[in-house]
Chain A
Amino acid sequence: MENQILTLVTFFPLLGVILLMFVPREKTETIKVLALVMSVVTMLLSFWMYGMFDPLANGMQFDVNTPWISSLGINYHLGIDGISLLLILLTTILTPLAILASWKSIRTAIKGYYISMLLLEVGMVGVFCSLDLFMFYVFWEVMLVPMYFLIGLWGGPRRIYAAIKFVLFTMFGSLLMLVAIMYILFEYQKYSGVFSFDMLKILGELPLGHQQQLWLFGAFALAFAIKVPMFPFHTWLPDAHVEAPTAGSVILAGVLLKMGTYGFIRICLPLFPDATITFLPWICVLSLIGIVYGALVAMVQKDVKSLVAFSSVSHMGFIMLGMFALNLEGLEGSVIQMINHGISTGALFLLVGMLYERRHTRLIEDFGGIAKVMPLYSAIFMIVTLSSIGLPLTNGFVGEFLILLGVFKSNTVYGIIATSGVILSACYMLWMYQRVIYGKITKPENEKLTDLDWREKAILIPLVLLIFWIGIYPKPFLDRMEPAVKQVLAQVSRASTVEAEQAAPLNSMLETPQTEPETVTYNADGDSHE
């Protein structure tokens, strides 16, 4: 059982999908309860997995590796380290909340909706734990389908445009990724004589020249950058968020965007270290533009949801920047900020969704004075806002501070520019908060709004607790990711020394102080765990 825990966590929602297929579509309550139960059980399973996870061990844990399509070297290979563990937990926590949030707002095609949600969960968890490039790609694409339907069927007025834009953007990137995966496959075959998609094997054995790395990095990075999304590939995000139903936005912002950053950490950095160094300035500059640009554009939005969407662009810029600081502080901050962004932006979308359910509008100017009629809502909104602007003792601060510290260590100028994002985020969030929550009630419709009911409290309170937990005591999370992060860094620094002369001018940025060398052994033989 313990060996199969990953399989269980990944595919348990699929069981729910199958069960749901046999429930008649009129029995809406049964469908909802069943979907919720399945996702909650998945969450509990992932908690159990968290409990079994060894925080000190290096390398992949709960490794499963059996041949699947052996003629092509495709293996069913799952395994997690601290980074994927946290992201899986984020996914399994957000999914039940998203399902709960859809309880009343989804009224059409209920069965299909919940099937999509559970299928989405399978895809997301799968991406975070596959160690086989083929499986990674399959899960990556699998999650696209339900998301397309979530936006396209249950979305707002411009849902078709948004859904198609979302799919086309993502497909464009992932096709390049597929080409890159195929290239790696054949290179590996040329090198070792057998086909293999195994990430760990490729990582450990396959030597790639600088030029090859550049192309491969470019292909993967484009796929991931669109997903993140980095400036200037971000325009699908506001559209998708504005049109998606609440739960769709929550999952989209909370988890889907992390798949891009996760891809960078899991594939781009370790597999193509030389290319990482070469592309580093470009990525950093794009991230910086994203931080400032996202914040400024967010400031002048009229729709709360698109404001939050642009704020995501800004926050994701922080995450990318922290990652490419290529030091422990920055990378750990980046990973913890992925979790934080999932929690706080997810919570923001949930909050906006709750207002939307009551008033059927999301325009900032339609609100004002909400604090009077919905005090608890306003208080939670405040907490989430503060977490989003990174106030100390909320989760946002831990991530943002570590990222900025790391960035500053690797490049002072980047650090200073990025820090200015701290000011801007306060501007747009507080201005929005003021216009929505404070002031006098100007619209008569707002006077009879009701405060949160039990269901909404049940959705928000776990998130608020997480906000404070990570803000006040982030140690358990940081401890668990530290070995994994060190490993990634070791993999990056490993090959950059080989091509040191090419990267010479940039090497100063790569200063990784006295921490790693002795502790890290990258895991070259994934098979040996069996």
Chain B
Amino acid sequence: MSEYLFLVPLLPFIGFLINGLLLGRLPRPVVSFIACASVGLSFVIALLLFFDLKAMPADMRLIEQTLFTWIPAGSFHANIAYMLDPLSAVMILVVSGVGFVIHIYSVGYMHHDPCFGRYFTYMNLFTFAMLTLVLADNFLLMFVGWEGVGLCSYLLIGFWYEKKSAADAGKKAFIVNRIGDFGFLIGMFIIFWQIGSLDFQTVMAEAPHVFIAGGGLITAVCLLLFMGATGKSAQIPLFVWLPDAMEGPTPVSALIHAATMVTAGVYMIVRTNVLYMMAPDAMLVVAIIGVATAFFAATIGLAQNDIKRVLAYSTVSQLGYMFLACGVGAFTAGIFHLMTHAFFKALLFLGAGSVIHGMSNEQDMRYMGGLKKYMPITFWTMLIATLAISGIPGFSGFFSKDEILWKSFSSQFGHPVFWVLGVITAGLTAFYMFRLINMTFFGKGRMDDKTRKHLHEAPRSMTVPLIVLAVLSVVGGYVGLPHVFFGATNYFEHWMAPVLSGGQAASHALASGGGDTGTELGLMAASVLLVLIAIYFAYLLYNKSPERATSLREKLSGMHKMIVNKYYVDEIYGATIVRPLVYFSLFLWKVVDVVVIDGFINGLAGAYSDVSGYLRTSQTGRVRSYATVFVVGVVIVTAYFLFG
């Protein structure tokens, strides 16, 4: 089976080629069949490979496949080569699995769109790029996937390119990502410069010998790579593109901007955990940025009225959790949360898509309400996802989030402050998510009559994916039960262990942090309690007595305004970076280029012609003056030869 590894990314690519080259010539059913089948098939292969991998002994779980030499230049070599280990196995299952479900969903969702074929072409390309990203066996190929998903994100955000806001958002996403890539590239250069290779295996094996643990160079590498991650995974300070990215079709938001692409940064950090474990300072930065983003984005989420924007900020916030996990050395927890988040956040977005579909493309929650009776499946599935994201025990989000919180408290890289902020964020999350549920599904319908008449549950191709994801959102957590629960085995941790052993060895860190069972259960209870209180408040303010929400809003109007405007981050960036850059460029063009350089050149030419102008006046046109000059010349020359 292992020789078919390359088919996992290749199949979606073939789908992309067929749909892309025959764009507009294939009937819609064929297009959707090709698109879905290619991803589905790749999921099946991924599953088979997963079982292959599982059958191997734990520390030998690695399948490698080199296709061809890509760039050979001097001492530099990069191959197109894929590598499957426990980490990438989890990732390809999530990517192709969730991707497949979302493809199916899209068939229904995009049914009316005139650019149906183009949509699926991009989606398949995205799947290919994402699978390449997670399967790459060297930094450079990973970068291929990294940029590839960025490209698809750009294309899909700007899918409805006639809307200026959509095209702007796509461009913004790409450029902000590029800023991150700048760091990624330089990080890669330092690694190559020091180690002479970009293969993961070599780098991870050599790093402990080449770099000094805790030294400046390794910290720089980690921070630069993390800069790439902040771009792709929308962390402070580069998170600004993700909320705007909601301009794309909703399934795109589900697949790219919730489940897969934005988690690439987390994946990258876990993939290079050996390096991070050697740079505790960088880990601290990752943890601080992570928890700050989680908290900060959650507060913005509190006051958004666009249903997708709430989810977008929630995504930013949840990604912050994952980075917090990585920053405190709980890489397994980070990936675990990545997986459960992929399930419930994809579900939330797809649910939101279903709502928007039913509401005739209305996204503002202030015009929704009471949708529960019109779209029951959407309601129940979304409720499950909301319970999962809020961390209600029994749902997948609880297990993963709780593990992160516990590790952020107990790990040797952790700190109680992280825990406190994490728990507050959990409360905020529960609040804004239930605010969303209450505003959308409960209470009086606030839509106009025309929309109300049109309200309907989504077609089967959309509801089935919702149900599948709802199931996963519940059971997904049970692969990683915490040890404190009746001594359960954490399968997930065992599965991931081989990937992380290198890092632990490099840093001489303890395999797992201290802390006793009692503390763990106590903290768990505290966080659950806070979440329940938050849910109650959400119920109180947005369902039972909405007038209280209004009065509260007025009481805190200054803060509310600040939050609604997202702390003016976009405006600040615009004023401090974008506009000065444009003005500076104009200065360079209009002054340096036109006035200074060309002015100099043209001035030289001008001076030349001025001098010529003076000289030519000696051409009087009078024969006699010429003759005079001639005679004088003859006399001088003669005199020179006679007397000189």
| Residues of chain A having any CB pair with chain B under 8 Å | 165, 168, 232, 234-235, 293, 296-297, 299-301, 327-329, 332-333, 369, 371-372, 375, 386, 391-393, 397-398, 401-402, 404-405, 408-409, 415-416, 419-420, 422-423, 426-427, 430-431, 434, 437-440, 472-475, 478-479, 482, 513-515
Asked if B167 and A438 make an inter-chain contact with CB atoms under 8 angstroms apart, the answer reads yes
Q: Can you list 7 residue pairs at the A/B interface with Cβ under 8 Å?
A: A391-B151, A401-B185, A419-B186, A419-B189, A423-B175, A427-B178, A475-B70
Docked CA distance A440–B167 (Å): 11
Q: A405-B192, A422-B181, A423-B175 are in contact. Are A392 and B74 (CB under 8 A)?
A: no
- A residues within 8 A CB of B589? 297, 300-301
> Is B585 among interface residues, defined by CB-CB distance under 8 A?
yes
Q: Among B75, B151, B162, B186, which residue has its beta carbon within 8 angstroms of that of A408?
A: B186
Asked if A329 and B75 make an inter-chain contact with CB atoms under 8 angstroms apart, the answer reads yes
Q: A232-B597, A408-B189, A426-B174 are in contact. Are A439 and B72 (CB under 8 A)?
A: no
- A residues within 8 A CB of B144? 392-393
Q: Which residue of A lies closest to B154 (CB)?
A: A430
Docked CA distance A372–B161 (Å): 9
| Centre residue among B72, B179, B189, B581 by max chain A CB count within 10 A | B189
Q: How large is the interface on B (under 10, 10 to 19, 20 to 34, 35 or more residues)?
A: 35 or more
Give residues of chain B (73-126) contacting chain A, Cβ–Cβ below 8 Å: 73-76
Interface 1/0s, chain B 600-629, versus A by CB < 8 A? Answer: 010001000000000000000000000000
Asked if A426 and B167 make an inter-chain contact with CB atoms under 8 angstroms apart, the answer reads no
Closest CB of chain B to A166's CB: distance in Å? Answer: 12
Asked if B597 and A235 make an inter-chain contact with CB atoms under 8 angstroms apart, the answer reads yes
Closest CB of chain A to B173's CB: distance in Å? Answer: 10
Docked CA distance A440–B166 (Å): 12
Docked CA distance A267–B140 (Å): 34
Closest CB of chain B to A316's CB: distance in Å? Answer: 16
Q: A297-B589, A419-B185 are in contact. Are A438 and B71 (CB under 8 A)?
A: no
- A residues within 8 A CB of B167? 434, 438-439
Asked if B161 and A437 make an inter-chain contact with CB atoms under 8 angstroms apart, the answer reads yes
Closest CB of chain B to A480's CB: distance in Å? Answer: 12
Q: Which residue of B lies closest to A165 (CB)?
A: B601
Q: Which residue of B lies closest to A231 (CB)?
A: B597
Q: Among A165, A235, A415, A514, which residue has its beta carbon within 8 angstroms of that of B189?
A: A415
Asked if B69 and A430 make an inter-chain contact with CB atoms under 8 angstroms apart, the answer reads no
Asked if A438 and B162 make an inter-chain contact with CB atoms under 8 angstroms apart, the answer reads yes
- A residues within 8 A CB of B586? 300
- A residues within 8 A CB of B68? 473, 475
The 4 closest A-B pairs by CB, nearest first: A328-B74, A392-B144, A438-B167, A438-B161
Asked if A438 and B158 make an inter-chain contact with CB atoms under 8 angstroms apart, the answer reads yes
> Is B164 among interface residues, defined by CB-CB distance under 8 A?
yes
Grouping DSSP codes into helix (H, G, I), strand (E, B) and loop, the A interface class, with mixed when no group exceeds half, is helix
> Is B193 among interface residues, defined by CB-CB distance under 8 A?
yes
> Is B593 among interface residues, defined by CB-CB distance under 8 A?
yes
- A residues within 8 A CB of B179? 423
- B residues within 8 A CB of A391? 147-148, 151
Asked if B162 and A430 make an inter-chain contact with CB atoms under 8 angstroms apart, the answer reads no
> Is B182 among interface residues, defined by CB-CB distance under 8 A?
yes
- B residues within 8 A CB of A333? 73
Asked if B148 and A392 make an inter-chain contact with CB atoms under 8 angstroms apart, the answer reads yes
Asked if A402 and B182 make an inter-chain contact with CB atoms under 8 angstroms apart, the answer reads no
- B residues within 8 A CB of A332? 73-74
Asked if A402 and B148 make an inter-chain contact with CB atoms under 8 angstroms apart, the answer reads no
> Is B309 among interface residues, defined by CB-CB distance under 8 A?
no
Closest CB of chain B to A256's CB: distance in Å? Answer: 19
Grouping DSSP codes into helix (H, G, I), strand (E, B) and loop, the B interface class, with mixed when no group exceeds half, is helix
Asked if B71 and A401 make an inter-chain contact with CB atoms under 8 angstroms apart, the answer reads yes
- B residues within 8 A CB of A474? 70-71
Asked if B161 and A329 make an inter-chain contact with CB atoms under 8 angstroms apart, the answer reads no
Asked if A409 and B193 make an inter-chain contact with CB atoms under 8 angstroms apart, the answer reads yes
Q: Among A234, A375, A427, A514, which residue has its beta carbon within 8 angstroms of that of B175?
A: A427
Interface 1/0s, chain B 555-595, versus A by CB < 8 A? Answer: 00000000000000000000000000110111011001100
Asked if B189 and A405 make an inter-chain contact with CB atoms under 8 angstroms apart, the answer reads yes
- Beyond the given pairs A235-B597, A434-B168, 15 more chain A to chain B contacts, judged by CB atoms under 8 angstroms and listed by A's residue number, are A165-B601, A235-B601, A297-B593, A329-B74, A371-B161, A391-B147, A391-B151, A392-B148, A408-B189, A419-B185, A427-B175, A434-B170, A439-B162, A440-B164, A473-B68
Closest CB of chain B to A131's CB: distance in Å? Answer: 25
| Residues of chain B having any CB pair with chain A under 8 Å | 23-24, 68-76, 140, 143-144, 147-148, 151, 154, 158, 161-162, 164, 167-168, 170-171, 174-175, 178-179, 181-182, 185-186, 189-190, 192-193, 581-582, 584-586, 588-589, 592-593, 597-598, 601, 605
Docked CA distance A405–B188 (Å): 9
Q: A235-B593, A300-B582, A404-B185 are in contact. Are A327 and B74 (CB under 8 A)?
A: yes
Docked CA distance A430–B158 (Å): 12
Docked CA distance A171–B68 (Å): 47
Closest CB of chain B to A513's CB: distance in Å? Answer: 6
Docked CA distance A232–B185 (Å): 28
Docked CA distance A375–B75 (Å): 42
- A residues within 8 A CB of B178? 422-423, 426-427
Closest CB of chain A to B630's CB: distance in Å? Answer: 32
Docked CA distance A297–B584 (Å): 9
Docked CA distance A434–B24 (Å): 23
- A residues within 8 A CB of B581? 296, 299
- A residues within 8 A CB of B164? 438-440
Q: Among A301, A397, A430, A482, which residue has its beta carbon within 8 angstroms of that of B174?
A: A430
Docked CA distance A405–B73 (Å): 11
- B residues within 8 A CB of A416? 186
| Centre residue among B147, B582, B589 by max chain A CB count within 10 A | B589
Asked if A297 and B588 make an inter-chain contact with CB atoms under 8 angstroms apart, the answer reads yes
Docked CA distance A372–B582 (Å): 29
Closest CB of chain B to A417's CB: distance in Å? Answer: 11
- B residues within 8 A CB of A439? 161-162, 164, 167
Docked CA distance A479–B77 (Å): 12
- A residues within 8 A CB of B73? 328-329, 332-333, 402, 478, 482
Docked CA distance A440–B161 (Å): 8
| Centre residue among A165, A299, A405, A422 by max chain B CB count within 10 A | A405
Docked CA distance A494–B230 (Å): 46
Docked CA distance A430–B157 (Å): 14
- B residues within 8 A CB of A513? 75
Asked if A475 and B75 make an inter-chain contact with CB atoms under 8 angstroms apart, the answer reads no
Docked CA distance A372–B170 (Å): 17
Q: A332-B74, A386-B151 are in contact. Are A422 and B182 (CB under 8 A)?
A: yes
Closest CB of chain B to A7's CB: distance in Å? Answer: 32
Closest CB of chain A to B535's CB: distance in Å? Answer: 42
Q: Which residue of A lies closest to B183 (CB)?
A: A419
Asked if A402 and B71 make an inter-chain contact with CB atoms under 8 angstroms apart, the answer reads yes
| Centre residue among A299, A386, A420 by max chain B CB count within 10 A | A299
Asked if B186 and A475 make an inter-chain contact with CB atoms under 8 angstroms apart, the answer reads no
- B residues within 8 A CB of A328? 73-76
Closest CB of chain B to A439's CB: distance in Å? Answer: 6
- A residues within 8 A CB of B185? 401, 404, 419, 422
Q: A401-B140, A474-B71 are in contact. Are A297 and B585 (CB under 8 A)?
A: yes
Asked if B74 and A515 make an inter-chain contact with CB atoms under 8 angstroms apart, the answer reads yes
Q: Which residue of B lies closest to A389 (CB)?
A: B178
Q: A297-B588, A404-B185 are in contact. Are A235 and B598 (CB under 8 A)?
A: yes
- B residues within 8 A CB of A402? 71, 73, 76
Closest CB of chain A to B175's CB: distance in Å? Answer: 5
- B residues within 8 A CB of A329? 73-76
Q: A393-B148, A419-B186 are in contact. Are A475 and B69 (CB under 8 A)?
A: yes
Q: Among B75, B143, B151, which residue has its beta carbon within 8 angstroms of that of A515?
A: B75
Closest CB of chain A to B526's CB: distance in Å? Answer: 44
Docked CA distance A108–B161 (Å): 39
Closest CB of chain A to B402's CB: distance in Å? Answer: 38
| Centre residue among A372, A393, A515 by max chain B CB count within 10 A | A393
Docked CA distance A291–B585 (Å): 13
Docked CA distance A293–B581 (Å): 12
